[in-house]
Amino acid sequence: MQNVLLNYQCGSVYKAVYLEAQDAVALATILRAGQTPPASLLNGTTSPPSGTSGNQQPASLLKPIWVDSSNMKDTVIKDNFVDKGTLCTAVGAAACTAAGIS
């Protein structure tokens, strides 16, 4: 995120870890109970790596969020994925203020 605020990088992708964990716990609990996960949790499929035998498997795929300086405060900072103090110390107060991070 430092490079994004310093304009060395235009952005980065982010998926909220707590949402991935929430889906993993729900799926594990359902599968452990010997039940089939509901379609509302399974929104895609995964395939084995090239050259590996196997079939496609149902999956819960979260949509990645594009993070740039305009939404950094409302994504990675809000979710505590990136520590605001550490980030602003690294890039300087001016860069954080310009991005609306204070």
Q: List the chain pLDDT tens, one digit each, 102 residues.
A: 999 999 999 999 999 999 999 999 999 999 999 999 999 999 999 998 888 888 888 999 999 999 999 999 999 999 999 999 999 999 999 999 999 998
Shared-domain flag, residues 21 and 57 = yes
Shared-domain flag, residues 76 and 89 = yes
Contacts of 31 (CB under 8 A, 6+ apart): 37
Q: What is the distance of C-alpha 27 from the center of its chain? A: 18
Q: How many CB atoms lie within 10 A of CB 51?
A: 5
Shared-domain flag, residues 79 and 92 = yes
Shared-domain flag, residues 102 and 73 = yes
Cα distance between residue 95 and residue 7, in whole Å:
9
Domain carrying residue 24: 17-61
Tell me the pTM: 0.78
Q: Give the total number of structural domains in the chain.
A: 2
Cα distance between residue 28 and residue 59, in whole Å:
12
Shared-domain flag, residues 50 and 80 = no
Shared-domain flag, residues 9 and 21 = no
